[in-house]
Amino acid sequence: MPYRVTFVCTGNICRSPMAEWILRHHVAEAGLDVEVDSSGTDGWHVGDDADHRTVRTLTQGGYRSAHQARQFEAAWFDHYDLIIALDRGHLRELRAMAPDAAARDKIRLLREFDPDAGGELDVPDPYYGGRTDFEHVRELIEAAVPGLLDEVGNALKDRDGLKER
């Protein structure tokens, strides 16, 4: 069974689909058995494609993109091993939605995986900005990927170790 990761932002058209496709690229390169997707805390954009600026930023960074926005549902907590919020607001909303402590323990902030993040753990919303705002978001996501890959790789090793016992 693959390890399952989801990213969550507000509308699921900018930050979380960008993080989804960047991580998909890197787990494929690493040959890890990981499923990656994304969703939003709100339903404003359900069914919409990713913002065209997200798609452009991903393409310019060498990543693929195919996306249809959806809203995170509380019933999904059991489906995921790791639920990654893009900012503290999403973290609060997800924790409030979590049915129990085990579900809350699955929720992390993306920038927790970036050792250079310091105290600034939010990925800013680029929606009302321009090209440089979207590029900045991509850079923040890419900076967190090595730590995130380590976390996922260790979880897979732990899972595989348990299977061998």
Tokens 């310091």 map to which residue? 118
- For the annotated catalytic residues, the residue numbers are 9, 15, 125
Q: What is the pLDDT of residue 165?
A: 43
Contact 132, 103 (CB under 8 A): no
DSSP state of 44: T
Q: What is the pLDDT of residue 162?
A: 63
Contact 142, 124 (CB under 8 A): no
Q: What is the pLDDT of residue 160?
A: 76
Supply the mean pLDDT for the chain: 96
Q: Judging by beta carbons within 10 Å of its beta carbon (0-12, 13-18, 19+), is residue 113 exposed, middle or buried? A: buried
In whole angstroms, give the CA distance from residue 126 to residue 15: 8
CATH number for domain 3-164, candidates 3.40.50.2300, 3.10.129.10, 3.40.228.10, 3.40.50.300: 3.40.50.2300
Global confidence as pTM:
0.95
Q: How confident is the model at residue 161 (pLDDT cuts 50, 70, 90)?
A: confident
Q: What is the pLDDT of residue 163?
A: 56
